[in-house]
Amino acid sequence: METNIQHLKEQLSQFCGSQQIFTLPLCRTRYTEGIQFLAQTANAFWLLTDASVMGKSLRDKSRFITIDFKRYSPSEVETHGYDAAITYTDGNGTVLARQQYHFTDFPLEQIRLFFVDNTLLLPSEY
């Protein structure tokens, strides 16, 4: 399993820019090839949808939004009562919102995404 996670991280780091932009029909958010790859490979379209909805709702607070997914360690799960959280910030440390998840099968311990100009992208694609 660790090999697959490391391989996924290496593959994600290869995305730089995007020649094709996709659109999430539900909320008309645009997203890059790296996000498409992440959603397909990690079976994480839920992450794309959640990040899109929250990103759109926070646009009046910041035009640049960081989206940080973090899986809690077993001791943190006991403390928080959740498996994971997504924290939305303005990129300068100001927390705009946080979503917590009772269960997740997302393979990575953490990942950062950006939401800029109604577009979701990996940091390497910014």
pLDDT score for 47: 96
Burial of 77-101, coded b for 16+ CB within 10 Å and e otherwise, reads eeeeebbbbbbbbeeeeeebeebeb
Could you please report the per-residue DSSP string of 36-76?
HHHHHHTT-HHHHHHHHHHHHHHTTT-SEEEEEEEEPPHHH
Q: Is 80 helix (H, G, I), strand (E, B) or coil?
A: helix
Q: Domain ranges in the chain?
A: 2-116
Per-residue pLDDT of the chain (126 residues; tens, 9 = 90+): 566 899 999 999 999 988 899 999 989 999 999 999 999 999 999 999 999 999 999 999 999 999 999 999 988 888 888 999 999 999 999 999 999 999 999 999 999 999 999 999 999 999
Only one residue has tokens 């645009």, namely: 30
